[in-house]
Amino acid sequence: MKNEIIFYIEESMEGGYEARALGASLFTEGDTIDELKESIRDAVRCHFNEADMPQIIRLHFVREEAIAL
């Protein structure tokens, strides 16, 4: 059993947010952070059986920004 799973969170080009799990084939999205968190919980519950269910879901927010010189 893994104790945790990590999701890489980015803002979507179409609006909202996208989440990809590291080390598992999980992808989900949501219009708001709260919707995204619920979508992530649902995806984890559907993907893992009870014996392998991670105890912690970590969210790693990535924000790309460019600045002019």
* Cβ-proximal residues to 26 (8 Å cutoff; 6+ apart), any chain: 5, 7, 19, 20, 43, 44, 47
Q: Domain span at residue 30? A: 4-61
Answer yes or no: is 68 within a domain: no
The total of structural domains in the chain comes to 1
- How much is the pTM? 0.86
Q: Confirm whether 67 is domain-assigned.
A: no
In a domain, 25, yes or no: yes
Q: What is the pLDDT of residues 8-57, one digit of tens each?
A: 999 998 999 999 999 999 999 999 999 999 999 999 999 999 898 999 99
The enclosing H or E element of 33 equals helix 33-47
Residue 53 within a domain:
yes
Examine the pLDDT at 67 and tell me if it is beyond 80: yes
Residue 69 in any domain: the answer is no
Q: What is the mean pLDDT of residues 52-67?
A: 92
Residue 36 lies in a domain: yes
The CA distance from 36 to 63, in Å, is 16
pLDDT number for residue 65: 85
Cβ atoms of residues 44 and 5 within 8 Å: yes
pLDDT at 2 over 90: no
Asked whether residue 24 is assigned to any structural domain, the reply reads yes
